Structure formats: C-alpha cells, structure tokens
Homo-oligomer: A and B are copies of this chain.
Amino acid sequence: MVDPRESIINERLKNIRRIIAVSSGKGGVGKSLVASTLALALVEKGCSVGLFDLDFTSPSTHIILGIEGLQPKEDKGLVPPVVHGLKYMSIIYFSGERPAPLRGADVSNALIELLSITRWEKLDYLVLDMPPGISDVTLDLIRLIRNIEFLIITTPSQLAFETVRKLTSLLKELKIPIIGVIENMKMDKSKAIREETRKLGLAYLSAVAYDTKIEETIGNVSKLADTTLANEIKKITADMQ
C-alpha cells in the first residue's frame, strides 16, 4: 500500500525549480561543507534557496551555519525558518542534541513525514545534504522526488573514489541525472580523480585544495564565504541555470 503522504510530497515540491542532492560515497569528504557553501553561494547570486539536512546519522549543517535555538513554525504544515537568507530544515529541530538512533524504517518514516509537511513554497533551488553512501534516505529520495539531481563530492583518496563508483553505478542504472563531481581536500596536482571521473562519463566540476583553516570557519558564515572552497563553489554556481 502506498503511504498517502507520498502523494502530497511532489505537490509540496512542485514550485521548486531544481532539487540538488549533495552526496558522497563515504563520509568525511566535506559533503556538508559543500552543501552549506553551495546554498549560501546561490543565495548570494540572488536565488531563492532552501537547505534541507537529511544526514540523519550525523547532521552537521546547523553547526557549520552556526544555527542555534531555531524552530520551524506550524502553519498548515511546517514553515522552515529563514537563516542567512535561506530556508533551513533539519532533523535536528526534532532530535535536538540527543542521539537519534533511528532504525531504517523509522528514518524512512521521518523522511516522508518531513517531506510531506514542509512548506518550501517557491524556490529556485533546494539543496539536500544527503547521508554518505547508499542509504535508505538515498533510495527513498530517488523514489519519492521526481526531479532530483545529484552532485557528488569525493576526496583524492582511493577509498573515497571507490565508493563514488558504486553510487554512480546505482544512479546511472536508475537514470538519475548527475551534475558532476567535486574533488575536495586536494593536496597535490595528481590528475587521477579527474581522469577516473571522466572515465565514468561524469563532469569534473572542480578541484578544491585542502584547507587547514576551514575548521576555524565552522559556525561563521562570513568566514566560510572567504575560503578557497567557497570561491570554487561560486565559480560553479556562476554557470548554474
């Protein structure tokens, strides 16, 4: 039986022009930093933007953006608060700082609930900070959201890129569009990931140098806007339609 909430989801999302799932094969590659920076860069470009943290196992965009004590308002659904110019939603509103040891089925349920009650209204972009790898959330979103596109983050590490291969293979099989790959935390001039990315038939969007100072920007969006990462992301958003 189809969950009756599922039919409302595409209705809720119908006025969003592009939905971009920022994803990675494994954790620790800077996915949440890219998702946050991407959302901020699109705001700076003058677009209307939402950011939805769906990394249920380790949500961190609220820490990156320095968000505390916010709550969505209830009004015929949930109205996401606006912070740093973007509409922001996260599981953290409900779990707080407690651990959220949700089972797969409960994660699916929470995801469907949040998607069906959140009132994003009209947006140019909705940026999703995805859980790493191929999780229940990944599979659910692909099933539930008609026009989802993926942006994949990797590091130069062989272990990270092997997991990108798997994610790409699944997305291609399901005919889900992939915007391209960003190579993050680059420490040398190796072209290995660039070449491997092209062999997979994907666009290599950017090489972002390893930045030891990025830790100091956590929680401070104006400092974050001044990083190498943010500058590289702005180059990408400049070309985005």
Chain A residues engaging chain B, CB cutoff 8 angstroms: 25-29, 32, 57-58, 60, 63-64, 97-101, 103-105, 107-108, 132-136, 138-139, 155-160, 162-163, 165-167, 169-170, 187, 212, 215, 218
Contact = CB atoms under 8 A, between A and B. Distances in A.
Nearest to A171: B99
Contacts of A215: 156-158
A158 B218 contact: yes
A134 B104 contact: no
A63 B166 CA distance: 14
9 contacts: A25-B58, A27-B133, A58-B132, A60-B162, A97-B166, A99-B170, A100-B134, A103-B139, A104-B107
Nearest to A140: B103
A162 B27 CA distance: 15
Contact of A136 (B63, B104, B133, B166): B104
Contacts of A165: 97
A186 to B, nearest CB: 12
Contacts of A133: 27, 57-58
A18 B200 CA distance: 43
A105 B27 CA distance: 22
Contacts of A169: 98-99
A44 to B, nearest CB: 23
Nearest to A216: B158
Given A101-B138, A104-B104, A132-B132, 9 more contacts: A26-B57, A26-B60, A27-B29, A27-B132, A58-B162, A99-B134, A99-B167, A100-B166, A104-B108
